[in-house]
Structure 1
Amino acid sequence: MEVKKRSTPILPWMRSPVDVNQFEACALNLVPCLDPRLEVALDKMGFSSLFPVQVAVWQETIGPGAFERDLCINSPTGSGKTLAYALPIVQKLSTRSVKCLRALVVLPTRDLAMQVKEVFAAIAPAVGLSVGLAVGQSSIADEISELIKRPKLEAGICYDPEDVTCELQSSVDILVATPGRLMDHINSTKGFTLEHLCYLVVDETDRLLREAYQSWLPTVLQFTQSNEESLFPLANSFLSSTFGSLKTIRRCGVERGFKGKPHPRLVKMVLSATLTQDPSKLAQLNLHHPLLMTTGKRRYQLPEKLESYKLICESNLRPLYLVALLQELGEEKCIVFTSSTESTHRLCMLLNLFGDLGIKIKEYSGLQHQSRRSKTLKSFREGKVQVLVSSDAMTRGMDVQGVRNVINYDIPAFIKTYIHRAGRTARAGQAGRCFTLLHKYEVKRFKKMLQKADNESVPHYSVPSSSIESLRAAYNSALGKLKETVESEASRKRKFGSKFSKLSRTKPTDRRKG
């Protein structure tokens, strides 16, 4: 007897989404109600118009929608989601002169948070707003000095820091943070408060909901829902029993609202290229009359101008096929994805042991310290490095201009992973290619996976056999050198133990924070 697989129920509000494809790009001078100062800032960034997803979100926030509903945005990578939420939030906050933390953007990784912060920093100062970053890149003391404004000392008066907590104020209007460092500030930073928060953005929602990150989400919601105690006594009782004495009281006299309400609900915007449909996960967000905005009817969408190819190779010669493909692509920017940080490290070493390939290749993974990753990414953006070898976690959501190619050295396990990898190219309406190296027995699974993204046929890409044969001698030599290098690294780890680990790896607390 055949047992049918139970499908996850779809929430009613997800059945009637707003189709972003119905909107067209709009020239900046035609965007209704856009602050002229923001128009100038966007022009300096190189924008002459807003993309469809940005126009759609603008209408639901600044236009007729006016933030009356929480927004769930499911749009392909590279479609412009960051500016889609950054622009209306900055416009809304520009109408208030009180300095306090009113918008919080949470992202799963440091690198992605730093990228989003740059977008806000490019437009917020134009309307007198400041943006902060809390990701653990610098010491927490340095972050505190950037985020919290201390009272000016009067001559002849000695202040005890323990007595002036009520006078500490936020130095930023908008904070971009990773969950771990956000929790550090909530738990230990004097003067840090979410009591005036108007907007919460959860970017890369799937990953943030999948990993608990010290229960950051229920903690943030608890801090921002104290004004609802009388309306929801049962919910508040549950939160109090769960989080103990974790409470906050809104300060009087600080305008947090809009539409004439002094203390309205916290507006939430959640975004992903592969937004979950799991009711239990979405329930964690406590969404208010949510509106789903998506591109087309399918849940999984690939960039419009992406070309996908499969490259069939012999299992023991996969590195040769990769090198041959990289040589064909020349100096075009390319990201090579592997299945793990360890595979990333070894593959990058192997490629650099091939000899002079005429291509600059660098590793980009969680095994590296943040400063080294930032330096590598900077070189990649500037074109000094042509190829990044990376694991999935490090580049989800990353936006690097001019990435022409993505190569799946290891076949992704899920369609979500394929979409996020492929989305590093073909961004912002540009063309791009995604190559996947496959063994013969993987072809059927690969085809079935891409059918979920409405991609029925992936053409075969051929590498001349002469190219493979010409690399065999260099490959054998590189394998020998790789074995020696791996043994040397293992010996150093055994010799130096934790000291070597601290030098070569990101600290565990940093990995937790993104």
Structure 2
Amino acid sequence: QQEDRSNLKNKSSKRKKGDEETEGSETRKKENSERAEGNQSTKEELFLAASEEEANPPASSLVVLGDYDRKPVQPFLPQWLARPKLVQKRIKDNLIPIGDVPGIHPRLLKKLQMNGIESFFPVQAEVIPAILQSASNGYLMGQGGYRPRDICVSAPTGSGKTLSFVIPIVQVLLDRVVCQVRALVVLPTKELAQQVSKVFNIYTDGTGLKVVLITGQKSFAKEQEMLVQKKVTGYCSLADIIVATPGRLTDHISQTPGFSLMQLRFLIVDEADRMIDDMHQNCLNQIVKAAFQVENDSGSNMLFQRTKPGPITAASSCYPQIPLQKLLFSATLTQDPEKLQQLDLFQPRLFTSVYSEKKTLGDGTETEQDTNKKYTLPEGLSQCYVPCDLNSKPLLLLHFMLTMKFSRVLCFTNSREASHRLFLLVQAFGGVTVAEFSSRLGPNERRRTMKEFEQGKIQLLISTDATARGIDIKGVNYVINYDAPQFIRTYIHRVGRTARAGEVGVAFSLVLRIQERRFLRMLKDAGIQDIKKNPVKGNSLKPLVQQYEEALCKLEKTVKEGKQNAEIKCFVVTEF
């Protein structure tokens, strides 16, 4: 019993002690909780105080450099790109009589009138005086002269860029005494070079200035004879103005004895964006290197050195030399400073017709339009696209030509093989005078084809992108992109073959349904949103199906008879 009483007493004391410990634990928890709450309230008070202090900072002489707000990073452009000289887009509404443009020589004004030009387009009225002004303070740097600023021009196709550099260059060279290469025009294709050379010949006729075209269409030896002549005292130049393609030009720089660019005053790069992108940068570097090399003066032992431009010093101003001015032209000139930096431009000026316009709304407020446009299309151009599948593309083209009665149509494909196959198919179908234009044809055949197309003898000209850039084809009413272009600049140049010089024209693009989203996104990213969807119902194509199938059979028969090569058979079997 005593043991039981002892055990009960111990248990009671343990319970009491346990209760006391529990009470103590709960008390400590309560104290800790209150302390935590107090700390939390203190943190909140400190945070609120800091926020108030940040919102209402005390007066201080310290400058706040930034904040924590996330703001979109705006691209930083050089001043000449950020603030260009804007050129009016609308040609017909902004024609300027040639007599109102200051500084043009009367002799050239007369030439312009003889060629039916009474008014300048906006880009011509801006750029011609700018180039003339850059040459007005002296032909030489030093002795009162200065280095002229380089000029870049970004304007729509058909806006008159060629005449913008032809007129001032001819005028600057009118008073030259000794024949030397003073102007060099570099272009990406032979056809474009021929076109520019033709314009130069028109305005140099009767002036004594000599224009030489070097594109590889003549033998290398023949071109050498056109460029330089060897005399007892040395070599002399036979060209004042050279129009060239890059490959042939670099060959003459490295292999033609006596060919010199030491007197070069103007370097014109037409279709400048393509020249940069197509790895012709090395050509431009070779031109500049040839222009600033050491040359042995003919008839003496003196060395003439044309040094690269640098800081103007008292010493450099004592030795006058001819400046080299670069003139860049394109309908799709890049605004990427890194790419343009490769050209080593000197204090360039940009003339552009790519800009936003303010439009007055009905309530009198003004809003900006075309704010995200990267390129400008001709104002008279209407754009449509036709969703289709692969099998219906040839039928759609025939529908446009035979049912819709389209005429003077320039049709683009993405390869010369595709152009040839489509040409054979349309020819076999009949009812359309058709021709092809690509590198498959020789130079003479291409010239003849282009002439017949301009004369209206050919209704449909199926071409690669050989005619897409710069070529001025007269009277093109419609452009059809049989193959949708993969790049926006290709699209810009293709559709720019119509609606030139303020005229009207229509561009149709046949777009596969799987390409539609990407095609529209490409245009939207370039700021082109006024293209209309123009679906063609299948019932419209049914009348052509039987004759179309007969044309395919005729083609296949021709292949079996061996009158055409194997690629046509492959085309018939796989594509149709």
Name the TM-score class by shorter chain. 0.7 to 0.9
User: Is 2:506 the partner of 1:433?
Assistant: yes
Give the structure 2 partner of residue 231 of structure 1.
Answer: none
- Counting only pairs closer than 5 Å after superposition, residues 123-272 of structure 1 correspond to structure 2 as 123-151=203-231, 164=232, 167-213=234-280, 215-226=282-293, 248=295, 262-272=320-330
Shift of 1:361: 0.8
Range moving further from structure 2, 107-116 or 168-177: 168-177
Shift of 1:332: 2.4
Match of 2:409 among 321, 331, 334: 334
- Aligned mates of 2:281, 2:305 — CA distance in 1: 30
AA of the residue aligned to 2:469: R
Question: Can you give the 5+ residue segments of structure 1 that lack an aligned partner in the other structure?
Answer: 152-163, 227-246, 494-514
Percent identity reads 40
> Matched residue of 1:111: which SS?
helix
Q: What do residues 275-302 of structure 1 show as CA deviations (whole Å, max 9, x unaligned)?
A: 1223332222111111111103233111
Shift of 1:324: 0.5
Match of 1:45 among 104, 115, 130: 115
Shift of 1:461: 2.9
Give the structure 2 partner of residue 312 of structure 1.
Answer: 387
Give the structure 2 partner of residue 472 of structure 1.
Answer: 545
AA of the residue aligned to 2:217: Q
AA of the residue aligned to 1:98: V
Question: Are the equivalent residues in 1 in contact too, given 2:374–2:527 (CA < 8 A)?
Answer: no
Shift of 1:457: 3.5
- Aligned mates of 1:335, 1:352 — CA distance in 2: 16
Range moving further from structure 2, 122-131 or 315-324: 122-131
Give the structure 2 partner of residue 412 of structure 1.
Answer: 485
Give the structure 2 partner of residue 302 of structure 1.
Answer: 377
Match of 2:100 among 30, 50, 54: 30
Give the structure 1 partner of residue 165 of structure 2.
Answer: 85
- Aligned mates of 1:8, 1:477 — CA distance in 2: 58
Question: Are the equivalent residues in 2 in contact too, given 1:131–1:175 (CA < 8 A)?
Answer: yes
Give the structure 2 partner of residue 158 of structure 1.
Answer: none
> Matched residue of 2:88: which SS?
helix
Question: Are the equivalent residues in 2 in contact too, given 1:109–1:394 (CA < 8 A)?
Answer: no
- Aligned mates of 2:223, 2:168 — CA distance in 1: 26
User: Is 2:423 the partner of 1:423?
Assistant: no
- Aligned mates of 1:137, 1:7 — CA distance in 2: 48
- Aligned mates of 2:567, 2:526 — CA distance in 1: 45
Shift of 1:319: 0.4
Q: CA RMSD in A?
A: 3.0
Match of 1:280 among 322, 338, 357: 338
Match of 2:182 among 96, 102, 123: 102
Q: What do residues 215-255 of structure 1 show as CA deviations (whole Å, max 9, x unaligned)?
A: 211111101124xxxxxxxxxxxxxxxxxxxx545778999
Q: What do residues 97-156 of structure 1 show as CA deviations (whole Å, max 9, x unaligned)?
A: 2211100000011000000101111101243312110001111222222222344xxxxx
AA of the residue aligned to 1:192: F
> Matched residue of 2:328: which SS?
strand
> Matched residue of 1:459: which SS?
strand
Q: Which structure has the larger Rg?
A: 2
Question: Can you give the 5+ residue segments of structure 2 that lack an aligned partner in the other structure?
Answer: 1-71, 137-146, 308-316, 356-372, 569-576
Give the structure 2 partner of residue 57 of structure 1.
Answer: 127
Q: Could you say which structure has the greater relative contact order, defined with CA pairs below 8 angstroms and 6 or more residues apart? A: 1
Shift of 1:208: 1.2
AA of the residue aligned to 2:393: R
Question: Are the equivalent residues in 2 in contact too, given 1:275–1:299 (CA < 8 A)?
Answer: no
Give the structure 2 partner of residue 111 of structure 1.
Answer: 191
Q: What do residues 294-350 of structure 1 show as CA deviations (whole Å, max 9, x unaligned)?
A: 103233111111000112223311100111012245362111011111111111111
- Counting only pairs closer than 5 Å after superposition, residues 491-506 of structure 1 correspond to structure 2 as none
Shift of 1:63: 3.5
Shift of 1:209: 1.4
Return the TM-score normalized by structure 2.
0.73
Shift of 1:490: 3.8
User: Is 2:428 the partner of 1:361?
Assistant: no
Give the structure 1 partner of residue 350 of structure 2.
Answer: 292
Question: Are the equivalent residues in 2 in contact too, given 1:320–1:468 (CA < 8 A)?
Answer: yes
- Aligned mates of 1:416, 1:89 — CA distance in 2: 28
- Aligned mates of 1:6, 1:476 — CA distance in 2: 58
Shift of 1:382: 2.0
Question: Are the equivalent residues in 2 in contact too, given 1:75–1:294 (CA < 8 A)?
Answer: yes
Return the TM-score normalized by structure 1.
0.81
> Matched residue of 1:79: which SS?
coil
- Aligned mates of 1:253, 1:386 — CA distance in 2: 59
- Aligned mates of 2:397, 2:73 — CA distance in 1: 40
> Matched residue of 1:441: which SS?
coil
> Matched residue of 2:447: which SS?
helix
AA of the residue aligned to 2:511: L
CA 1:262–1:125: 2 relative to 1, 3 Å: farther
- Aligned mates of 2:326, 2:131 — CA distance in 1: 11
CA 1:189–1:83: 2 relative to 1, 3 Å: same
Shift of 1:184: 1.7
CA 1:8–1:351: 2 relative to 1, 3 Å: farther
Range moving further from structure 2, 360-369 or 195-204: 360-369
Give the structure 2 partner of residue 507 of structure 1.
Answer: none
Q: What do residues 451-501 of structure 1 show as CA deviations (whole Å, max 9, x unaligned)?
A: 2343324223354644411110121122233345567444599xxxxxxxx
AA of the residue aligned to 2:114: K
CA 1:150–1:300: 2 relative to 1, 3 Å: same
Question: Are the equivalent residues in 2 in contact too, given 1:11–1:277 (CA < 8 A)?
Answer: no
Shift of 1:256: 10
> Matched residue of 1:33: which SS?
coil
Q: What do residues 158-204 of structure 1 show as CA deviations (whole Å, max 9, x unaligned)?
A: xxxxxx4x522121210000011111211222221111100000111
Shift of 1:15: 0.9
